[in-house]
Structure formats: C-alpha cells, structure tokens
Chains A and B, each alone.
Chain A
C-alpha cells in the first residue's frame, strides 16, 4: 500500500519537483505513472524508497510512515519492497544467481530456502541457462529480467519500477510488462513509471499522469488486451512482426469503461505532448 498525502518535494537547488501530491495505491493494484521528462516521476519513486524525504506531507508505504522512519529501520522497510530500475543495478562482480540470492542472504534466510527459491525465480523469468553468467554477459532484456527476479525473490508486497523498459528493445518491453503483470496477478502491488505510451495503451489499467510536479490525471482505462484484438491492433502486431516501429493508434484503442471520453482524450493529448516535449 502506498499513500501520499499532500506531499511536496523541493530540492536544495530550489526546484519544486512535487507539488502537493496526494495519491493512494491499494494492495494488489497495478499502476502506471506517466508524464513528461522532469515532471517529478523519479522524485516520487525516490520518495517511496526513502532515498529522499518529503519537504512536507505524509508518505506511507507498506504501513511504514516514512516521515518518521528511523535511519536504522530503513533496511527493514526496504525489505518489504522490490525495485527495478532503468539501469538494472546489478552487482557486476556477482553471477545472476548471487545477485538474486544476495537479497535473501541480507534477511538471513536459511541456506536450504535460498537453494530452492533462487532457481525458482530464475526459471520464472526464463533465465535458467544464464544462472552462472555475470551481468556483463547478458543482454539488456536479460539483465532486466534478473532485476525483476531479484525484486520478487523475497516476496515483497510492492514492486517499484522506474522505467524498467527504458534501456531495452520496444518488443521486449511488452515481455517485461507481461512479467510484471504476472507477478501482479499473484497479489503483489506494482507501480511502474514509463515513457512508453504504447505500453500503457496496450495494457491499460490505472494511469497516473504527473505534469510539473502535480497529478493531472488518475483514472483506470482498459487496455487492448482486455478485448478481442481490434483491427488496428492486429495491424500493429503485424507491423511489429515485420520489424517496423509500432505505430501509435490515432485514438484510444480501448473500449472506454467510463463515459468520460473527453478526459481520456486529454490524457492521450498529454501523453502525446510528453512524447514531443520529453527529451528521453
């Protein structure tokens, strides 16, 4: 569970990265966070990881009030969540196995459990053959799958992902999100920041748009996967198979669950605006 109540963050440089943001993500939710570059998305993620503190407002994650969390309690808190970053953040001197097992060693898990659990999550992300490889020997997509395996090995309540698909091929992005969706189906809450609007449109779900440090949109939209493949999506997939960049559909592909067409249009406009304005 993630809750922000009137949270603002002002960096020491004077930049107001978040401005009076309130947000609640319930257990078991899957939420996308979108917004243009510099909007404050990563700032929000840093806040949730207790990497930085809110200038004002209350941040609660997995039942921990982060404003009041003592320094020596931070490790205990961080063990309740998993993280996935754009730059993978694997330890280069450790094998795939060791990178993942490390999380369990930190919590002093029994050796027997580690020996069973680690191969299991490695097989979940389909990297069995790479168990003893070093991160340098893996492709971007493989590295990110290792990172995901690491994020879930300790069965966290929440996985936070900051542009997990940022450094990998667009086609592979779908796989990564599928993987996260699968984890979400098992009950883990997932918060994923992304720039890839195709992904958002494809999967749908809860979309939170942050612009200039404020939440300008927070709604559930249904993704294309929820319905039989419409013609455009078919074309989209075919184009993808042909190796072309997936083309953004002109309008929201989803059958709207709400009647607020206008609002959705606004999001799409915002998304497209981000596409143009965002220096990725």
Chain B
C-alpha cells in the first residue's frame, strides 16, 4: 500500500466493515475536504486566468484544459474512489474509463480536424 492510500484509509473511513458500526472515532472527512478545496482552487484559478487574459489565447486554452483534466481526476479520486480495492477485479472499470477517455479525446479532436476541411494544407 502506498503512503497516500494509507493516508486515505486512515481518514476516509471507507475501508472496512468497522466503519459501518460507527466505531471509528475520527470524525473529520479530510479526504473530501481536501478534494473540495483543490477543486475550488482550480476553478477560481481558471476563471481568473481567463478573465484577466494572462497569456496568449492558445496557451491559455491549453492551461485551462489542463486544470479541467486535473479537476476531473480530483473528483474521480477523492469523491468517486476510483482506486478503491473492494471491487472484485477492480481494474476493469478503470480500463473502461480509460478507453472511454481515449475515445472521447479521439472523437473531439478528430472531428475538429476532419471538419476543418484540410485548412491545414492551404
């Protein structure tokens, strides 16, 4: 178990049957608070960057996309517990999501490319 997983196990209280009996005395859901704070920071940052046009548009767009992707991982990790090990054969849903993300990127990027009608070659 990596240290961060260990940390989560300790604080999220989602790890074993004991929790459901309410015997765990630690009451602060740090895990969720951290996730929420990060997502707030990322959102505000993106908004601020755009409203103040801090850099050239293309770079700016790359930057806010990066922030969005980061934030998606925050949700998946802190709220959706995607790395949870209780799922039988757990990695398969991660594979499916990975494939889904691959095709998502493919469909969006390729559609833009295709529908630009060869603008790149003129």
| A and B from one complex | no
Interface positions of A (Cβ within 8 A of B): none
Interface positions of B (Cβ within 8 A of A): none
